[in-house]
């Protein structure tokens, strides 16, 4: 895979910029195993970086101009952005993420970058598929700038800059999970992150004779157009109501019993359902870590299923497409569990499938999905990967 992408980037770069790239980089995408919509509620999430993501070929230029091109948006020209012009502009499409990163890096380090870059990117995660192509790009650009200009920013700095770009530059109130999962990615490990204080631990993913399969519903998830910000607002409303009696900072400060005893403070029925999902999902996420550490994949799979049902019934973010994948997956006895992953509203689901049955699994889910939804899903088999890196072996 990497060989082919590098060859493609190399020849495209030559055509575009009339020179050879000097460096190549890669930044992963992410899945979330469990712990959905908890990052902005001070809870625990359990994501992992994946071997699909965004590649870049780069050269340094003498003028402080950034020339961006994406092989995923071939209809677009090279976007040439002078350093003094790092402002949001809808016309500049995907490069807004890159512009935001450079702008905030310059702010944080109190520097103006002395040179510019030619950057050609190619992502093998579809944008809008819910595998965090935008966070992958943010961390990729952050890593490149930090590396080439020797700025000594920490990985956590770059993670926080990525989230700031989403929140302030793009206008999406997302939490920190995606950037953290990508920035701190570790091969064959998932990351249990406490979003309240950003403490985290790695958990080895020993899946024995099972594999994680990603199923793309091919229903695009337009995060900023979606109900994502609405869900955040509903959680804030629930929190405010609970705070009239309880001394808590986040919904995830509640345990299940305290929530049950006080839920009637939340008079808005939707807000109450959102809070219920959040509190129970936080418990499930910690149980999932335990199950994994005890090598109990059956319990882990059951928690995945419970998570999906809660996201369907209480958080209301699954939709017909993801529910169809979920239902067709869990009726198979060689599937231990399945759930939507990421924000929902379309995008991807994951399933824990017996490794020697993956072909049967794909056939079954494909047929059911075609029957109910009428167009094709896609399947990805990925490895759990390290965070962003320079591909030093290629020059």
Active site residues: 178
Q: Is the dihedral of CA 137, 139, 140, 145 positive or negative?
A: positive
We find the least distance from the C-beta atom of residue 130 to ligand GLA, in angstroms, to be 7
Instruction: Single out the residue of 126, 159, 118, 120 nearest to residue 53, CA to CA.
Output: 126
For 235, the token pair is 């959680």
CA distance 312 to 319: 7
Cα 248 from chain centre: 28
Ramachandran quadrant class, 352 (left: phi over 0; alpha: psi -120 to 50; beta: rest): beta
Judged by beta carbon, residue 33 or residue 120, the one nearer ligand GLA is 33
Judged by beta carbon, residue 59 or residue 282, the one nearer ligand GLA is 282
We find the least distance from the C-beta atom of residue 36 to ligand GLA, in angstroms, to be 4
Judged by beta carbon, residue 96 or residue 118, the one nearer ligand GLA is 96
We find the least distance from the C-beta atom of residue 169 to ligand GLA, in angstroms, to be 14
We find the least distance from the C-beta atom of residue 395 to ligand GLA, in angstroms, to be 34
What is the side-by-side strand order in the sheet with 389-390? 79-82, 65-70, 116-123, 47-61, 23-32, 389-390
Judged by beta carbon, residue 37 or residue 339, the one nearer ligand GLA is 37
Q: What is the DSSP string of 98-141?
A: HHHHHHHHHHHHT---SSEEEEEEEESS-TTSSS-HHHHHHHHH
Judged by beta carbon, residue 153 or residue 348, the one nearer ligand GLA is 348
We find the least distance from the C-beta atom of residue 174 to ligand GLA, in angstroms, to be 3
User: Residues in the site for ligand GLA, rule: CB under 6 A?
Assistant: 32, 36-37, 39-40, 174-175, 177-178, 342-343
- Strand pairing partners for 389? 26
CA distance 54 to 187: 17
CA distance 73 to 88: 18
Give the Cβ contact number of residue 302 at 10 Å. 18
Judged by beta carbon, residue 174 or residue 211, the one nearer ligand GLA is 174
197 CB-near residues (< 8 Å, 6+ apart): none
Half-sphere exposure of 351 (CA within 13 A, CB side): 29
Classify 29 as helix, strand or coil. strand
Report the helix count and the strand count for the chain, using DSSP H and E: 11, 13
We find the least distance from the C-beta atom of residue 134 to ligand GLA, in angstroms, to be 8
We find the least distance from the C-beta atom of residue 163 to ligand GLA, in angstroms, to be 8
CA distance 356 to 130: 27
**Contact assessment for residue 174 and residue 167, using Cβ atoms and an 8 Å cutoff:** yes
Judged by beta carbon, residue 42 or residue 175, the one nearer ligand GLA is 175
Judged by beta carbon, residue 57 or residue 176, the one nearer ligand GLA is 176
Distances from the Cα of 270 to the Cαs of 79, 266, 312, 315, 340, in angstroms? 43, 9, 13, 8, 20
We find the least distance from the C-beta atom of residue 37 to ligand GLA, in angstroms, to be 5
């Amino acid at each position: 895979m990497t060989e082919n992408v590098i060859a493609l980037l190399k020849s495209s770069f030559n055509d575009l910029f009339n020179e050879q790239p000097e460096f190549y980089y890669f930044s992963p995408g992410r899945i979330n195993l469990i712990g959905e919509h908890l990052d902005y509620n001070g809870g625990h999430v359990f994501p992992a970086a994946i071997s699909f993501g965004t590649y870049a070929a780069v050269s340094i230029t003498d003028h402080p101009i950034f020339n961006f091109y994406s092989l995923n948006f071939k209809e677009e020209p090279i976007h040439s952005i002078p350093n003094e012009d790092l402002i949001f502009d809808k016309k500049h499409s995907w490069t807004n993420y890159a512009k935001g990163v450079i702008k905030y890096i310059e702010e944080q380090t109190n520097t103006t970058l002395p040179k510019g870059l030619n950057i050609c990117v190619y992502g093998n995660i579809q944008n809008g598929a819910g595998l965090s192509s935008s966070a992958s790009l943010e961390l990729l650009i952050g890593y490149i700038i930090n590396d080439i200009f020797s700025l000594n920013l920490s990985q956590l700095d770059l993670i926080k800059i990525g989230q700031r770009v989403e929140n302030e530059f793009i206008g999406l109130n997302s939490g920190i999970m995606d950037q953290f999962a990508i920035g701190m990615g570790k091969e064959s490990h998932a990351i249990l992150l406490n979003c309240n204080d950003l403490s985290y631990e790695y958990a080895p993913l020993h899946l024995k004779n099972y594999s994680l399969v990603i199923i793309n519903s091919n229903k695009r998830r337009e995060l900023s157009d979606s109900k994502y910000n609405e869900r955040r607002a509903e959680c804030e409303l629930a929190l405010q109501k609970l705070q009239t009696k309880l001394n808590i900072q986040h919904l995830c400060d509640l345990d299940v019993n305290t929530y049950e005893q006080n839920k009637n403070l939340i008079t808005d029925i939707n807000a109450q359902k959102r809070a219920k999902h959040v509190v129970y999902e936080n418990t499930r996420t910690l149980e999932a870590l335990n199950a994994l550490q005890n090598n109990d994949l059956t319990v882990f799979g059951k928690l995945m299923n419970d998570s999906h049902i809660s996201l369907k019934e209480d958080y209301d973010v699954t939709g017909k497409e993801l529910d169809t994948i979920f239902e067709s997956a869990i009726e198979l006895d060689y599937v231990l569990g399945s759930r939507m992953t990421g924000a929902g509203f379309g995008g991807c689901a994951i399933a824990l499938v017996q490794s020697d049955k993956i072909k049967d699994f794909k056939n079954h889910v494909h047929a059911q999905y075609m029957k109910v939804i009428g167009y094709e899903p896609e399947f990805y088999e990925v490895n759990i990967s390290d965070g962003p890196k320079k591909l030093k072996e290629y020059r």
